[in-house]
Structure 1
Amino acid sequence: MQKDRQEDILSLLGARDGASVGELSKLLGVSEVTIRSDLSGLAQAGLVRRTRGGARPLGLSERPLEETSKQHAAVKRRIGAAAAARVRDGQTIFLDVGSTTTEIARHLSPSLRGVTVVTSGLNIALELERLPGLHIVVTGGSLRRLQHSLVAPYALELLSRIRADTLFLGCNGLDARHGVTNANFDEAEVKAKMAEYAREVVVVADPSKIGQVARAHILPAARVAALMTGRQANPEQLQALSALIPDILTV
């Protein structure tokens, strides 16, 4: 309950670039004492900055998929095409939610046969309906409207029963020290579970994500088998990541 409420607080703060204790109390239907306690916890975690009578967000905030899809669209298409080319007949893949992973779905070859795609993204499942050679599995769970994604508890139960060849993983940040991170805690939990049951993890991230750190940790950079990003990515950040990730492709 507290975790859900704190995520709601972070979403509200991100949307408004800050809010007062009184505003948050009315919007969430809880006491100001409860809001102050939550804000203290979020401030200690480095996720918000307390202001006079309220708080402002720190770090990366989450935005709707329709909005993020328009940003770095060309490089996301190139990443999607390059990632899709890695998929072979007979494989089982986890396809994560997000705008870049959606481009992977759009670029998968119609000639693929015997491929099973397991995804927590409703929009991705709809994109894949056109491909007759694919078996599509949707994880189930509770709907997150911003990303059209499904999260715990049922998603985790299904994922624990599947072993995938590859996870194509999206993120809000990739940093050599902090690893792969995400803006939403519930989605990060699903992403981490996918990584646990995949033989290899391929991170697909536009250049703006390289060197960034979001609030929810997914896995260390050393657990990533390959990174696919754009040529505009910060070269110093890529150099640091190259010591941990054996295969880095810029497109």
Structure 2
Amino acid sequence: MDVRRSEIVSLVKQHGELPVTELSKILGVSEVTVRSDLKVLADAGQVRRTRGSVRLPTDVRRESPLEETRLEHSAAKRRIGRAAAALIRDGETVFIDVGSTTTEVARAVSPTLQGVTVVTNGLNIALELERLPGVRVIVTGGTLRPLQHSLVSPYALDVLRHIHADRLFLGCNGVHAEHGVTNANHEEAEIKRVMVQQSREIVVVADHSKLGKISRALIAPTDRISTLVSDRSGPAPPPELRRAIPELHLV
């Protein structure tokens, strides 16, 4: 069975995307068996299932624009954003990281807050917050990554190292009990690691598709997370992840 699943991954890498019917013919097994294998592989983050076919995960094939990733699990991300933004208190200094879910955090920040400073390396996040009179926005500067509207080294790290935040709202591509919080892009992961170092509390915002997954670059070990805000739309978080994180909010 493991050999067959390895062959499926190899075939998908060769072709980019394959119909289930085609995989069934190539492997000489039923479509039911193929779908069962695909579920296991998708849960492990090795492939991505679509209607009637399978392809490589987005972060393996190419980096998707922020406008595209925002459409994935969009309702769940909005709920997560509202729940996370409610944690911000008057007078706090917070980091808001780049990403589709952290964008929803920025959109949900209360207009009644006063004396809040938000530091971000996301240009779109800064624009979301400029409407709020009680929020001062600091943009890190740095080199622009256009697909994500994010700013990375040089310069961004220098700014972040001079700021101490009460709370960080952290986006990611994977949250795993043993392997920690991970990200697909190494440049952004470097920025995220410094944000973690400079923050008193770490609030990870991640929809259910990220739980139990591992991506390329380590951001922080799981024991550094203060709170995880996720959603109830998918399978329950792995038990070991529940045990590893002090506060878990499912919305």
Q: TM-score, normalised by structure 2?
A: 0.76
- Structure 2 distance, partners of 1:131, 1:112, is 8
- Structure 1 distance, partners of 2:187, 2:73, is 25
Q: Residues 208 and 237 of structure 2 are in contact (CA less than 8 Å); yes or no, is this contact kept in structure 1?
A: no
State the partner residue of 1:82.
83
- Structure 1 distance, partners of 2:194, 2:124, is 20
- Structure 2 distance, partners of 1:124, 1:240, is 33
- Structure 2 distance, partners of 1:177, 1:58, is 21
- Structure 2 distance, partners of 1:230, 1:197, is 27
State the partner residue of 1:184.
185
> Is 1:161 matched up with 2:144?
no
1:68-127 Cα deviation digits (max 9, x unpaired): 001100010000000110000000000000011101111111111100000000000001
- Local SS of the residue matching 2:249: strand
- Structure 1 distance, partners of 2:100, 2:85, is 14
State the partner residue of 1:244.
244
* Amino-acid identity (%): 58
The structure 1 segments of at least 4 consecutive aligned residues displaced by more than 4 Å after TM superposition are: none
Q: Which residues in structure 2 correspond to 1:96-111 (within 5 Å)?
A: 96-111=97-112
Instruction: Report how far residue 145 of structure 1 moved.
Output: 0.9
State the partner residue of 2:116.
115
- Structure 2 distance, partners of 1:122, 1:116, is 15
Instruction: Report how far residue 233 of structure 1 moved.
Output: 4.2
Q: Which residues in structure 2 correspond to 1:1-251 (within 5 Å)?
A: 17=16, 60-61=59-60, 62-235=63-236, 237=238, 239-251=239-251
How many residues in Structure 1 have an aligned counterpart in Structure 2? 200
State the partner residue of 1:43.
none
Instruction: Sort the Cα spacing of 1:215 and 1:229 in 2 relative to 1 into closer, same or farther, 3 A.
Output: same
Instruction: Report how far residue 60 of structure 1 moved.
Output: 3.5
Quote the RMSD (CA, aligned, Å). 2.1
